[in-house]
Structure 1
Amino acid sequence: MQQTKTNITGKDVLTWKDFTTEEIEQLLEQANLLKKKLKNNESHEWLKGKSLGMIFQNASTRTRVSFEVGMTQLGGHALFLSGEDLQIGRGEPVEDTARAMSRYVDAIMIRANDHGMVQKLAEMSDVPVINALTDLYHPCQALADALTIQEQFGRLKGLNITYVGDGNNVAHSLMIIAAKLGMNMTMATPQDYEGDADVWDAAQKQAEQTGATIRHVVDPERAVSDAHIIYTDVWTSMGAEKEQQSRLKIFEKYQVNDQLMAKAQPGAIFMHCLPAHRGEEVTASVLEGKQSVVFDQAENRLHVQKAILTSVMEVPAT
């Protein structure tokens, strides 16, 4: 099995807005290949001698483990750096951090609150920068979601996704990748919680090219009536902790429970990026139920991280 040629060597992965449909499809193909190689115990040390700098300004489970294990499986090395480990935490300009780290590592992965800061890092870095979560986007999660949906249904184009809850960074990236891949997406959120207006505009423009539809519906029951996939995330994302009590009241009608799942299409699946708050945005019966694919999503983070890493870094031809 030969590696997929993605033609994105050296490219930053900050948001899927910057990628063509073909490039995203190639990344999914690469992820499928790498997953098969791992399952078949086939060597795929394509990044031997390569180093990944991993900057984490907030907590992580799936992101850190998947990137670190992924680099190990690819024969490379991952260096974990918390905000406290770096001079950036003591006031060093991000531009200086970018230029210095570019002299040491072959790519930089960063998980941070401020998307603007990550953009500055990428602008000044001489090596590819991968966005592992910001306040605005979570592209790696969305790619893992697309891979999971593809595995479950054997296709992507024409499927209907309903996202129920808060229009946050996960919803933004899911909306963009859905539009790019021709999936229809309905956002079921309270009024004024549907997400960033610029992201909506970008998704709508892309949807016009692929034939997808992107819409907002306030009523969650109406929103899921034609859904093949129901997706949710926490109601209080990082940075909104002071709003937690008010959000519990605002979002109480947006819980994904057995009754809501029953209104979707037969064979619908449930998705959540994790971590989940059982009894808030989703009931335990749905999260642990037969329709749930949340741990397939979690596993697929590993395979898509490896696809991204082997695509943006220089890899010898095989």
Structure 2
Amino acid sequence: MSFQKFPRHLLSIGDLSRQELLKLITRSAEIKHESKRRFANRENCQLGGLEGQNIAMIFNKRSTRTRVSVETGVNSLGGTPMFLGKEDIQLGVNESFYDTSKVVSSMVAGIVARVSKYDDVASLAKHASCPVINGLCDTFHPLQALADLLTIQEAFGSFKNLKLAWIGDANNVLHDLMIACAKVGIETSIANPKDVKIRSDILDMVHESSKESNSKFSVGNDPATAAKNADIVVTDTWISMGQEAERQVRLKQFAGFQVTEKIMQLAKPHCKFMHCLPRHPEEVSDAVFYGPNSLVFPEAENRKWTTIAALEALIVNRGEI
């Protein structure tokens, strides 16, 4: 697929075609293999492409995996990451997203934004003269979905005939993961508490994304039903940043949704467990999280390799995937 317009942004997995998504996962695997080969042989691990260029990291929310993966990813491509936390710049205090976007994008080759609201990252992208990548917002988390797909491909060899069960919240991670699975052909079975609903517009995106791959998805309220015959079981935090005051209410709301060995026994014998981190014990038992079928740490590492592939595609290759 040839993409002519520049800058091109990545705000959601929905911004990618099925073929582009598959190419990004393939490229991520290539980058990972080559980087590890060079490291093992004490060779220069820098891939190049961003020499002499700066990437702005506008982070209004704290982060471990996103910050480390973006900073190391930019360095791997030869560029310089510029971390701009909420205490570092005027954004949201004395300056609008429009003004910030116009100013910052005029001085850098790309922006990775980790913000509160989708409208905020969309505003940055609308007015920026360089590519904007969504590092997380309240609606989408595309970089996590890319890492999840790479992890699944490494574990199973392909995406064919797989079922993924999600047990937990209807959040940004789930949204992009459902869209990604629909595009590559992974069946998804979702279990949310009865009073936790997936937005109808997100379900419409999943339905549209499933047409080319003929993938299936279902949404219910029973963790056991979702986990039955699953190849992968996934959960996430029940209490996202900004919801700390609701902790007791949320814990009561999600009672019975912890991923345990009992839940995993309902899945296939080889079933893998995934979690994007940070993890809390109420979400998944120690036996599952640290067990032999857990992929949580390779999944976290893969944030780096898929981030490099996304930076390369949107900035180095100017949107050509």
Q: What interval of TM-score do these two structures reach, taking the shorter chain for normalisation?
A: over 0.9
User: Which structure 2 residues correspond to residues 68-107 of structure 1 after superposition, within 5 A?
Assistant: 68-107=71-110
> What is the rounded CA distance, in whole Å, between the counterparts of 2:48 and 2:3 in structure 1?
20
Alignment correspondent of 1:116: 119
Give the TM-score normalised by structure 2: 0.93
User: Which structure 2 residues correspond to residues 184-263 of structure 1 after superposition, within 5 A?
Assistant: 184-263=187-266
1:286 aligns with 2:283: no
* 8 Å contact kept, 1:6–1:26: no
- Structure 1: state its 5+ residue gaps: none
Percent of paired sites with the same residue: 39
Root mean square deviation, CA, Å: 1.7
The Cα shift of 1:7 comes to 5.1
Partner deviation per Cα, 1:45-77 (whole Å, 9 max, x = no partner): 222122110011011001001100111121110
> What is the rounded CA distance, in whole Å, between the counterparts of 2:170 and 2:160 in structure 1?
22
Question: Which residue, 142, 163, 168 being the options, matches 1:165?
Answer: 168
Taking structure 1 as reference, are residues 149 and 315 closer, same or farther at Cα in structure 2, changes over 3 Å only? same
Aligned residue for 1:270, secondary structure, equals strand
The Cα shift of 1:314 comes to 3.0
* 8 Å contact kept, 2:169–2:196: yes
- Structure 2: state its 5+ residue gaps: 39-44
* 8 Å contact kept, 2:168–2:257: yes
> What is the rounded CA distance, in whole Å, between the counterparts of 1:313 and 1:202 in structure 2?
26
Q: Match for 1:230: what amino acid?
A: V
Alignment correspondent of 1:306: 308
Q: Match for 1:178: what amino acid?
A: C
> What is the rounded CA distance, in whole Å, between the counterparts of 1:12 and 1:186 in structure 2?
29
Question: Which residue, 5, 10, 20 being the options, matches 2:7?
Answer: 10
The number of equivalent residue pairs is 312
> What is the rounded CA distance, in whole Å, between the counterparts of 2:137 and 2:118 in structure 1?
5
Taking structure 1 as reference, are residues 6 and 34 closer, same or farther at Cα in structure 2, changes over 3 Å only? farther
> What is the rounded CA distance, in whole Å, between the counterparts of 1:310 and 1:261 in structure 2?
37
Q: Stretches of 4+ moved more than 4 A in 1?
A: 5-9
The Cα shift of 1:119 comes to 0.3
Q: Match for 1:26: what amino acid?
A: K
The Cα shift of 1:6 comes to 8.1
Alignment correspondent of 2:29: 32
* 8 Å contact kept, 2:49–2:316: no
* 8 Å contact kept, 2:46–2:75: no
Aligned residue for 2:219, secondary structure, equals strand
> What is the rounded CA distance, in whole Å, between the counterparts of 2:163 and 2:251 in structure 1?
27
The Cα shift of 1:315 comes to 4.6
The Cα shift of 1:43 comes to 4.4
Q: Match for 1:292: what amino acid?
A: S
Instruction: Report the more deviating stretch, 292-301 or 187-196.
Output: 187-196
